[in-house]
């Protein structure tokens, strides 16, 4: 029974077209594959709303605008070929094979790409026969004996005395036996028939969506990525788009090696090679990758580093236990190098428009990184939630740690660092003589800014100056004997 437009809407297929074919280039590619007349296509929307566009396209197909015998099913089948891992398209694709176009020597539809797996893709070349239906029927007879599933056999071309069949997810031994059996059946007195096996590299296909987690546990979505994209290209893209380069440098400004892991549903990880393609790494639809700078001790004695990491962990966890609401997550239970700290403090987010009033906020997240040369190099902190503060870079979230950073010593008490972050968020601690955010600096020093800061419980500069200028009271102080 042919699918209707109502079926496409009900089963979420129409919405999938709107999501995956959301730009004009991809939309035209799909429509070209089904020979949809270019002059009859609606104007592609430039406002990002494509659901109405695809509803109109599907209605035109229902009304018979395509060549005879082609309907909505063809649109779904071609979309499934482009997005091999898409569950919805594959659920509703047909098992039928479209006849070749006699007017050219190319397949009438895009050759089917292999599913994301490590299996080889093979082509069976049959010379001396071009009756595609009979060849497919013969292939269907032989396939079960070689444990080859019928859906793994596709017609790729037929014409001029040649038939090409595609086989995927098959072993080379099974394919060789399959070709021998097909040779025997197809000859049937016609000795001119020759069956050969060709091995091909996988044809690139699109993965509609994968996820990438950064070193701060921020989660990114990568859409419409080709299967021949390398793991390293994915990592480089996310790093350059979302992170300060200093997060991936050592104390001398040299680049730190970036590692990429596949994250399984049970949270276990598998290290991936940078030069692997997504296909070679068997990355499936909606898989998650984790990208982080490699934690290495470098020239630091391993025992010294391990002890320092353990001490930092104990101090941070002790602070969290003593301060309800201060939440800690880390990349390792024993000796973490990366922390995500969550806490509440009355602060300010950037104004909705330049020159406007900052917005009051209370929830904060900070990514704390201990570099490969820790404890000899100071930790770095990057604010993850929006914040409007003179001493925090607005684009990268890099935090100026003041004396804890400038005068860092390996014996830093991380409980003090945790408290400093809270004080920074709540404007209990801020410097105006040098800042990372000029706009926030100008606002904080203004009368309006000072009033807003004090109303939220922050430190008023004027009161701070008065306190510093006051003479301390006379106290009875004596030195204790050592």
Beta-carbon contacts of residue 1 (< 8 Å; ≥ 6 apart)? none
Same domain, 315 and 374: yes
| Residue 259 structural domain | 206-293
Domain CATH number, residue 252: 3.10.20.90
Same domain, 210 and 195: no
Same domain, 256 and 194: no
Same domain, 409 and 328: yes
pTM, rounded to two decimals: 0.42
Query: How far apart are alpha carbons 388 and 437 in whole angstroms?
Result: 8
Same domain, 352 and 428: yes
Same domain, 440 and 324: yes
Query: How far apart are alpha carbons 206 and 84 in whole angstroms?
Result: 7
The verdict on residue 450 lying in a domain is yes
Helices 302-322, 414-425: axis angle to 10 degrees equals 50
In three-state secondary structure terms, 453 is: helix
Q: Which helix (H) or strand (E) holds 15?
A: helix 13-20
Question: Contact at 8 Å (CB) between 259 and 240?
Answer: no
Q: Which helix (H) or strand (E) holds 305?
A: helix 302-322
Same domain, 179 and 210: no
Same domain, 425 and 340: yes
What is the full per-residue pLDDT of the chain (482 aa) written as tens digits? 688 888 888 888 888 888 788 878 778 878 888 889 988 888 888 766 688 889 899 999 998 888 877 789 989 988 887 777 677 888 888 864 444 433 333 333 333 333 333 345 677 888 888 788 888 888 988 888 888 888 888 887 777 677 878 887 777 788 888 988 888 888 765 557 888 876 555 556 778 788 988 876 678 888 888 888 888 888 888 887 777 776 666 556 666 677 888 888 776 778 888 888 888 788 888 889 988 776 544 445 577 688 889 999 999 999 999 999 999 999 888 889 999 999 999 999 999 988 889 999 999 999 999 988 788 788 999 999 999 999 999 888 999 887 666 667 677 889 989 999 999 999 988 887 767 899 999 999 898 999 999 999 998 876 666 655 556 555 555 555 54
Quick one: how far is CA 317 from the chain centroid? 31
Same domain, 360 and 344: yes
Domain CATH number, residue 368: 3.10.110.10
């Amino acid at each position: 029974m042919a699918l209707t437009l109502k079926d496409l809407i009900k089963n979420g297929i129409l919405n999938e077209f709107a999501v995956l074919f959301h730009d004009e280039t991809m939309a035209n590619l799909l429509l070209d594959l089904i020979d949809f007349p270019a002059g009859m296509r609606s104007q592609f929307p430039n406002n990002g709303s494509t659901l109405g566009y695809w509803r109109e396209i599907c209605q035109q197909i229902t009304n018979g605008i395509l060549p005879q015998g082609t309907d909505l099913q063809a649109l779904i089948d071609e979309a499934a070929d482009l997005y091999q891992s898409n569950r919805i398209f594959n659920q509703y694709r047909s098992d039928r094979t479209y006849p070749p176009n006699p007017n050219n020597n190319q397949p009438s539809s895009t050759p089917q790409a292999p599913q994301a797996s490590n299996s080889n893709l093979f082509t069976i070349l049959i010379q001396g026969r071009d009756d595609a239906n009979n060849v497919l029927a013969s292939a269907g007879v032989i396939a079960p004996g070689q444990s080859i599933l019928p859906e793994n056999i596709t017609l790729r071309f037929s014409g001029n005395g040649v038939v090409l069949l595609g086989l995927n997810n098959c072993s080379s031994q099974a394919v060789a036996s399959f070709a021998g059996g097909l040779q025997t059946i197809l000859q049937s007195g016609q000795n001119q028939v020759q069956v050969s096996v060709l091995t091909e590299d996988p044809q690139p296909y699109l993965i509609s969506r994968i996820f990438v987690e950064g070193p701060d546990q921020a989660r990114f979505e990568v859409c419409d990525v080709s299967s021949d994209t390398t793991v390293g290209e994915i990592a480089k893209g996310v790093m350059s788009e979302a992170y300060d380069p200093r997060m991936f440098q050592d104390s001398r400004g040299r680049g730190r090696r970036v590692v990429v892991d596949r994250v399984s549903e049970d949270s276990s990880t598998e290290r991936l090679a940078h030069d692997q393609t997504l296909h070679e790494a068997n990355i499936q639809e909606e898989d998650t990758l984790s990208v982080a700078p490699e934690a290495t001790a470098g020239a630091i004695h391993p025992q010294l580093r391990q002890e320092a990491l353990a001490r930092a962990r104990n101090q941070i966890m002790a602070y969290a236990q003593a301060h309800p609401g201060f939440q800690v997550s880390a990349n390792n239970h024993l000796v973490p190098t990366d922390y995500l700290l969550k806490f509440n403090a009355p602060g300010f987010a950037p104004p909705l428009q330049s020159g406007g009033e900052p917005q009051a906020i209370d929830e904060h997240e900070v990514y704390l990184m201990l570099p490969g040369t820790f404890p000899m190099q100071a930790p770095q902190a990057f604010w993850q939630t929006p914040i409007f503060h003179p001493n925090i870079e607005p684009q990268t979230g890099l935090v100026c740690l003041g004396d804890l950073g400038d005068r860092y010593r390996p014996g830093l008490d991380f409980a003090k660092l945790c408290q400093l972050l809270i004080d920074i968020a709540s404007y209990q601690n801020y410097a105006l003589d040098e800042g990372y955010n000029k706009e926030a600096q100008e606002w904080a020093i203004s009368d309006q800014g000072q009033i807003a800061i004090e109303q939220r419980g922050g430190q008023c500069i004027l009161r701070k100056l008065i306190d510093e200028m006051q003479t301390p009271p006379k106290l009875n102080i004596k030195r204790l004997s050592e």
